[in-house]
Amino acid sequence: MALCEKILIAGFSGSGKTSLVQAIKSAAPEDWDYFDDLDRLVLKNRGKGFSSVSELIEAKGWEAFRLWERQELEGWLKQEGKGVLALGGGSLSPLVWELFGKNRKIKFCHLRVPFETSWKRLIADESEPRPLIKLGQGKLRELFVERNKVFDQIQWHLDGTKNLQILVREFWESLSK
C-alpha cells in the first residue's frame, strides 16, 4: 500500500461518505494531510452565492455540475500529499473510473449500503435537501442499480451500515495490509 497517496470514497447518495471522511480525519496518522468532500469543494469553488449543492444544481444544471465535479477532482488529485476525498454519489462515472481506476497512487473504497438504508437517510436528512429525492423512490432505485455497476468494480468495500467507529478502524486497518 506504500504507493497509495489518495483515497477516494465512493458510494451512493446517503451511504455516509461525508460522515466517514470526517471520522477518518479524527483518527488519521500524522502523515495524512487533508480530508475533503467533493460536493463541498464544488460548492465552495464554483458555487459562489449558493448555499447548497441542490441550489447550485437547480440553477446551473446537472451537466455543469458534473463538469465542475470532474475539474475539482482532477485538481484535488494533483495536490501534493496524502488525502481522503468523499466523492459525490454520481461522480464516479464510467469515464472517471476509466481515467483513474487503474492509477496505483489512488485507492478507491466503496462505502456500500442497501438501497433502503440510503433512501431512509436521504429522506431523513433535513440539513440539506438532496436533489436526487425529486426523482422519487422508484427512479432512484434504478439509478442505484446503474451506479452499482461501477461501484462493483472497486475492490475495497466497507459496510456503511456499521457503527462509524468500527468503520474508521476497518478503514485504517485495511490500509496497513
Residue 8 three-state SS: strand
User: Domain limits at 106?
Assistant: 6-176
Considering the domain boundaries, does residue 12 fall inside one? yes
Write the pLDDT tens digit of every residue in 164-175.
999 999 999 888
Considering the domain boundaries, does residue 1 fall inside one? no
Considering the domain boundaries, does residue 147 fall inside one? yes
Q: The domain spanning residue 86 has which CATH number? A: 3.40.50.300
Averaged over successive runs of 10 residues, the pLDDT of the chain (177 residues) comes to: 76 93 92 93 94 91 93 91 91 84 88 95 76 82 93 94 93 84
| pLDDT score, position 2 | 42
| pLDDT score, position 97 | 85
What are the respective helix, strand and coil percentages of the chain, to the nearest 5? 55, 15, 35
| pLDDT score, position 29 | 87
Write the pLDDT tens digit of every residue in 109-129.
999 999 999 999 888 876 666
Q: Indicate the angle between helix axes 53-60 and 62-78, nearest 10 degrees.
A: 120
Q: What is the pTM of this model?
A: 0.90
Structural domains in the chain (count)? 1
| pLDDT score, position 82 | 92
| pLDDT score, position 1 | 36
Side chain identity at residue 70, one-letter code: R
Category of 35 on φ-ψ map: left (φ > 0), alpha (ψ -120 to 50) or beta: beta
Instruction: State the burial class of residue 112 (Cβ atoms within 10 Å of its Cβ: 0-12, 13-18, 19+).
Output: buried
Considering the domain boundaries, does residue 19 fall inside one? yes
| pLDDT score, position 129 | 65
Q: Indicate the angle between helix axes 164-176 and 17-26, nearest 10 degrees.
A: 70
